[in-house]
């Protein structure tokens, strides 16, 4: 009888498969890219995988975020937890951990213990630069990926070998176009994730990867490659001769991120709070309506706003795209 990874071993060799099984990947983001990356790595037999995401499953995710079900959306399960549950059913022989958290300079370094590769599946460049700084500081390969509409980008960041994302900051598109404003089709997600996972498997099995920024449009069937080695900046504050890792030492402050296309604002407190959700649900029962709770979050209607409150003190305020209004609502509830 052939074993689980027999056909993959015909390509990688037994030694390659053994190397893959001795790696631990962390995926930052469990949306479209993250869920696809996670499933590919889990099916390939990577030794361990950690998935970090701040959001919960909504029905509008289901056309492109392939790990999740209508039941996950109905229960408003955190994506990291829903992903962990599903992935354990796909491959029970490996270590899988989902973490519901907002990735920031405050917590990223403690997440990287025993991690051998970092997979980017985030949705904003600020977070990617935090990840980039941490990857360079701890000498961990980092596979950047992004997609929107029918267009995707990938790039491998290898400490001491390739330019980092900070070096390329003027060469990678960073406008405000997102899948919430221009849409996205599932095939570009799969293509981008496949490119990232392919490069990750090469690195984990001891192969070298080229410092090439790849872009592709799956609808127009166009692609381009840029060798960016010449763009490495010796004065880069992240990977240069006097590295300071600026995105790991930003000022602590409450932040409000507008979630494009969702008429919602994500609130992040200066430091994580350990909220007692059961206590709050009892305290607010006469203040709010349509309350729903699970072990990870509270969902309720407050005045004309739909509020999702997480255990770590974060909140998503639906019904406004103004950060000042969202902060006022947040402070009224938790101030």
Q: Which residue's entry shows tokens 């407190």?
A: 269
Question: Got the DSSP string for 96-137?
Answer: EEEEE----TTTTGGG-TT--EEEE--S-HHHHHHHHHHHHH
φ, ψ of residue 111 to 5 degrees: the values are -85, -10
Tokens representing residue 258 in the block? 């507008």
Pairing of strands 264-268, 255-259: antiparallel
Burial class (CB in 10 A: 0-12, 13-18, 19+), 127: buried
d(CA 113, CA 110): 7
Q: Which residue's entry shows tokens 């095939």?
A: 187
Residue 147 is a catalytic residue: no
Burial class (CB in 10 A: 0-12, 13-18, 19+), 321: middle
286 half-sphere exposure, CB direction, 13 A CA radius: 1
Tokens representing residue 292 in the block? 């729903």
Tokens representing residue 121 in the block? 């599946």
Collapsed DSSP state (helix, strand, coil) of residue 172: coil
Query: What is the maximal distance between C-alpha atoms in the chain?
Result: 63
| Number of CB atoms found within 10 A of residue 76's CB | 18
Catalytic, out of 147, 164, 167, 179: 179
How far, CA to CA in Å, does 260 sit from each of 72, 177, 263, 322?
22, 9, 7, 11
d(CA 318, CA 2): 51
Active site residues: 179
């Amino acid at each position: 009888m052939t074993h689980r990874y027999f056909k993959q071993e015909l390509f990688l060799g037994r030694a390659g498969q053994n190397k893959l099984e001795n790696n631990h990947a962390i995926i930052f983001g469990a949306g479209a890219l993250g869920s696809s990356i996670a499933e590919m790595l889990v099916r390939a037999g990577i030794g361990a995988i950690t998935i970090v995401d701040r959001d919960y499953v909504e029905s509008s995710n289901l056309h492109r975020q392939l790990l999740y079900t209508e039941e996950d959306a109905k229960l408003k399960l955190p994506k990291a937890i829903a992903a962990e549950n599903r992935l354990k059913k796909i491959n029970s022989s490996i270590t899988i951990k989902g973490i519901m958290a907002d990735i920031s300079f405050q917590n990223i370094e403690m997440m990287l213990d025993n991690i051998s590769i970092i997979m980017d599946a985030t949705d904003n460049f600020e977070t990617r630069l935090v990840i980039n700084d941490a990857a360079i500081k701890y000498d961990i390969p980092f596979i950047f990926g992004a997609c929107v509409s029918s267009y995707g980008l990938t790039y491998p960041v290898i400490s001491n070998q390739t330019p980092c994302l900070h070096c390329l900051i003027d060469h990678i598109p960073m406008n405000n176009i997102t899948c919430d404003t221009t849409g996205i089709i599932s095939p570009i997600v799969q293509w981008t994730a496949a490119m990232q996972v392919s490069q990750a498997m090469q690195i984990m099995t001891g192969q070298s990867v080229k410092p090439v920024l790849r872009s592709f449009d799956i609808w127009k069937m166009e692609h381009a490659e840029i060798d960016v080695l010449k763009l490495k900046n010796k004065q880069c504050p992240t990977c240069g001769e006097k590295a300071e890792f600026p995105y790991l030492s930003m000022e602590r402050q409450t932040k409000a991120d507008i979630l494009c296309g969702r008429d919602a604002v994500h609130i992040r407190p200066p430091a994580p709070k350990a909220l007692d959700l059961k206590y709050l649900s009892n305290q607010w029962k006469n203040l709010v309506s349509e309350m729903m709770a699970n072990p990870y979050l509270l969902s309720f209607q407050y005045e004309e706003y739909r509020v999702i409150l997480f255990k770590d003190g974060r909140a998503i305020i639906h019904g406004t795209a103004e950060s000042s209004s969202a902060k006022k609502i947040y402070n009224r509830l938790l101030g």
